[in-house]
């Protein structure tokens, strides 16, 4: 279960600031809408790219921490099972 959740998080952890801009409002209105969106992206892109970069770094750190925690939990479980097995033999 934890493995599946981690894989799902890994797939969704990276944010792309340059997502597809499209519109289906017709030929002229669609062209104007796309042009407006591209203009806004160019004007504000410098600001959002830094935020997205920081968020991607945070997401990567969280995933690394989760992987480390998962490995430590597995080690604890393995040691506990080994201890239980030794006790049952005695």
Q: What does the pLDDT look like over 36-48, one tens digit per residue?
A: 989 999 999 899 9
- pLDDT, average across residues 7-30: 82
* Residue 90 pLDDT: 65
Q: What does the pLDDT look like over 28-80, one tens digit per residue?
A: 888 888 899 899 999 998 999 999 999 999 999 999 999 999 999 999 999 99
89 pLDDT more than 80: no
pTM for the predicted model, two decimal places: 0.69
Spell out the long-range contacts of 70-75 with Cβ–Cβ below 8 A and sequence spacing 24 or more. 70/2, 70/3, 70/6
């Amino acid at each position: 279960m934890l493995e599946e959740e981690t894989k799902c998080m890994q797939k969704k952890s990276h944010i792309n600031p340059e997502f597809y801009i499209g519109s289906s409002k017709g030929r002229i209105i669609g062209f104007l809408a796309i042009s407006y969106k591209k203009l806004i992206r160019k004007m504000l892109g410098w600001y959002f790219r830094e935020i997205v970069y920081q968020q991607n770094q945070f997401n990567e750190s969280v995933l690394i921490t989760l992987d480390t925690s998962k490995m430590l939990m597995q080690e604890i479980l393995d040691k506990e099972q080994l201890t239980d097995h030794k006790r049952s033999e005695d």
